[in-house]
Chains A and B, each alone.
Chain A
């Protein structure tokens, strides 16, 4: 059994030669194509992963932009609502002021009209009273007077009337 533990030098050399030749042949025929295919596939997977990563980043960026736009739109909407509220308030105040001014003007105008009417009626009444008094006086004195005398008598009458009114 010594042969079991005594290496054959020839076999050692044969093994080395055979194995090294096998390494060369395997590199050329088996590992070359196989490793090339594996590397190609890995490169493709890496590329796909990078693409997916880029797409994910793009999607995240777009989502962020949309969120920003939404936030901006919400701000704008709030500003528009606030502005509309202010404008509405201003319009309401203006309309109220206008209405109040118009009402006051109408009231003033009506008051003036009433005063005017009152004065005119009073004047007409005075004339009527004067004419009636003159007619009554003419009948009393049985004589007619000219218009100048009539006017002076009337003025005197009214003066006395006014004086009498003042006394009363």
Chain B
């Protein structure tokens, strides 16, 4: 097995079979990352429901931790950015944060080592399709939030913020409006694209670095430099610790940026 095969095995999604095909020819496959999404969703749902409704010491400890995160997201992200609309969208942002966080953490579990596992493992958020799906959800929320807060016309006006009082306004305003509209639409697309790539690249980069350090054992160790093993082990442990931080950080950043974008279209100019 060469490095490309290792990378392929660990990073690329694997299709088990096609569930059904949509009229446009889009195959709805059951893939390992999709199964991971479902497993993570069920785990998150179970864990957080237990935290919210459970009784006993374990539930209390879990609830205390979850509440700290929930209050942080509510008080420092959603409420300052969305204002009085915050309570309508708070559950979306909380789900977004915990879903990404759980997906990122699940990607660090060595599920391949579980006996009888048919190949369900990997970081779902390290798949560009998954991050694109989440970013498109953000796009949907931007449109929904904007239209709800300002109406359809107000939302569209938001994309052509022409200042009043321009010289020769009857010529300048439409031209400027059209240019700004194009720029704003491109800006929105770029935002969504950046969201997609940022999470995907950050999650996959750590895995590639870890695989790289492991590969050192086989590349350099083959020539008799035995110190490579302990060095690689130390570095892999270090990068894994870093990945724990990145798992939290990327979930936080994705949630924060989504709130910034949604909050931006809710503000009146």
Q: Which residues of A contact B (CB under 8 A)?
A: 1, 3-16, 18-23, 25-27, 29-35, 37-38
Beyond A13-B28, A38-B67, whether A18 also contacts B37 by CB under 8 A is yes
Using an 8 Å CB-CB cutoff, how does the interface string of B112-140 with A read, 1 for contact, 0 for none?
00000000000000011110111011000
Partner of A12, one of B4, B38, B90, B129: B129
Residues 179-202 of B contacting A (Cβ, < 8 Å): none
Any A CB within 8 A of the CB of B239:
no
Chain B residue with the shortest CB-CB distance to A18: B37
Contact check, A15 vs B129: say whether CB atoms are below 8 A apart.
Answer: yes
Chain B contact surface mostly? helix
CA distance A11 to B32 in the complex (A): 10
- Given the known A-B contacts A1-B4, A29-B49, A31-B95, are A22 and B41 also in contact in the complex, defined by CB atoms under 8 Å? yes
Q: How far is the CB of B246 from chain A (nearest CB, A)?
A: 18
Is the beta-carbon distance between A27 and B52 smaller than 8 angstroms?
Answer: no
Given contacts A12-B136, A26-B94, contact A18 B38 (CB under 8 A): yes
Cβ of A152 to closest chain B Cβ, rounded Å:
140
Query: Per-position contact with A for B15-48: 1 when CB-CB < 8 Å, else 0?
Result: 0000000100011110101100110010011001
Contact status A30-B51, CB under 8 Å: yes
Known A-B contacts A15-B133, A20-B137, A31-B91; the reply to A8 vs B29 at CB < 8 A is yes
| 7 other A-B residue contacts (CB within 8 Å) besides A7-B132, A30-B51, A38-B71 | A7-B128, A10-B22, A11-B133, A15-B129, A16-B137, A20-B137, A26-B95
Contact status B41-A16, CB under 8 Å: no
The answer to whether B136 touches A16 (Cβ under 8 A) is yes
Are B8 and A31 in touch, CB under 8 angstroms?
no
**Chain A: CB-nearest residue to B18:** A10
Say yes or no: A35-B41 contact (C-beta < 8 A), given A9-B26, A11-B13, A30-B48. Answer: no
Cα distance A33–B94 when bound, in Å? 13
Whether B99 contacts A14 by the Cβ 8 Å rule is: no
Cβ contacts A to B, 15 pairs, < 8 Å: A1-B8, A3-B13, A4-B11, A7-B127, A8-B31, A10-B27, A10-B29, A11-B34, A11-B130, A12-B136, A18-B38, A22-B99, A25-B45, A29-B52, A31-B70
The answer to the question of B7 belonging to the interface, with a C-beta cut-off of 8 Å to chain A, is yes
**Docked-complex contact B49 and A18, CB < 8 angstroms:** no
List residues of B whose CB falls within 8 A of some A CB: 4, 7-8, 11-13, 22, 26-29, 31, 33-34, 37-38, 41, 44-45, 48-49, 51-53, 63, 66-67, 70-71, 90-92, 94-96, 98-99, 127-130, 132-134, 136-137, 204
**Nearest CB in chain B to that of A34: its residue:** B52
Query: For B134, what are the chain A residues with a Cβ–Cβ distance below 8 Å?
Result: 15, 19
Distance (whole angstroms) from the CB of A17 to the closest CB of chain B: 9
Assuming the contacts A9-B26, A22-B95, A23-B92, asked whether A31 and B129 have C-beta atoms less than 8 A apart, the reply is: no
Indicate which residue in A18, A21, A33 contacts B52 across the interface (CB closer than 8 Å): A33
Task: State the CA gap A32–B137 with chains docked (Å).
Answer: 21
> Are A11 and B70 touching (Cβ within 8 A)?
no
Complex Cα gap A70–B76 (Å): 50
Least CB distance, A73 to chain B, in whole angstroms: 51
Question: When the two chains form the complex, which single residue of B4, B37, B92 contacts A15, counting CB atoms closer than 8 Å?
Answer: B37
CB distance from A63 to the nearest CB of B (A): 36
